[in-house]
Amino acid sequence: MAATIKDVARLAGCSIKTVSRVINNEPYVTEETRARVNSAIRELNFAPNISARRLVQQRSFVIGILLLAGGYGQSELLSRLMETGYEYHYDFLVQTYFPTSTTSKEKLARLVRERRVDGLVTTPPCDMDDYIAGLVVQSGIPLVRINPYDRLIDLPYVAEDDFQGARSLTAHLIGLGHRRIAFFKGPRNHRMSADRYLGYKAALEEHGLPVRPELVKNSEFNFDGGYTAARLVIEEDPAPTAIFAGSDEAALGAIFAMQEAGRRMPEDISIAGFDDLAHAKEVWPGLTSVSVPYNVIVERATLMLIDLLNGKTVDQPQVVYPTRLVVRGSTAAVET
Partner DNA sequence: TTGTATGCGTTATCAG
Partner DNA sequence: CTGATAACGCATACAA
List contacts with DNA (CB under 7 A). 2, 4-6, 13-18, 20-21, 23-24, 27-30, 32-33, 46-49, 52-53, 55-58
Residue (115 or 212) nearer to DNA, CB: 115
The residue type of 94 is V
DSSP letters of 279-334? Answer: GGGTSTT--BEEE--HHHHHHHHHHHHHHHHTTPPPS--EEEE--EEE--TT--PP
In the complex, what is the shortest distance from the CB of residue 150 to a copy of itself, in angstroms, rounded to a whole number? 26
Question: DSSP 3-state assignment of 96?
Answer: strand
Q: Determine the size of the site formed for a copy of itself (CB under 8 A).
A: 49
Given a contact cutoff of 8 angstroms between Cβ atoms, the answer to whether 269 and 243 are in contact is yes
Residue (107 or 180) nearer to a copy of itself, CB: 107
45 binds, among a copy of itself, DNA, none (CB under 5 to 8 A by kind): a copy of itself
Residue (112 or 283) nearer to DNA, CB: 112
CA atoms within 13 A on the CB side of 185: 16
Q: Closest Cα to residue 265, out of 323, 193, 326, 331?
A: 331
213 binds, among DNA, a copy of itself, none (CB under 5 to 8 A by kind): none
5 binds, among a copy of itself, DNA, none (CB under 5 to 8 A by kind): DNA
Given a contact cutoff of 8 angstroms between Cβ atoms, the answer to whether 198 and 183 are in contact is no
| Strand locations in the chain (E) | 62-67, 91-96, 119-122, 143-146, 157-160, 181-185, 216-218, 242-244, 270-272, 289-291, 318-321, 324-326
Tell me which residues in 9-48 interact with a copy of itself (CB under 8 A). Answer: 45-48
137 touches a copy of itself by CB under 8 A: no
Residue (49 or 139) nearer to DNA, CB: 49
In the complex, what is the shortest distance from the CB of residue 26 to DNA, in angstroms, rounded to a whole number? 8
Q: Which residues, at least 6 apart from 159, have a Cβ–Cβ distance to it below 8 Å?
A: 146, 147, 148, 151, 191, 297, 319, 320, 321
Residue (61 or 321) nearer to a copy of itself, CB: 61
Tell me which residues in 265-284 interact with a copy of itself (CB under 8 A). Answer: 278-279, 282-284
262 binds, among a copy of itself, DNA, none (CB under 5 to 8 A by kind): none
Tell me which residues in 67-106 interact with a copy of itself (CB under 8 A). Answer: 69-72, 74-76, 78-79, 82-83, 86, 91-96
Using the rule CB under 8 A, which residue among 90, 131, 184, 223 binds a copy of itself? 223
d(CA 243, CA 255): 10
Q: What is the per-residue burial (b if ≥16 Cβ within 10 Å, else e) of 94-104? A: ebebbbeeeeb
State residue 257 phi and psi, 5-degree precision: -60, -40
What residues make contact with a copy of itself under the rule CB under 8 A? 2, 45-52, 54-55, 60, 69-72, 74-76, 78-79, 82-83, 86, 91-96, 107, 110, 113-116, 223, 252-253, 255-256, 259-260, 278-279, 282-285
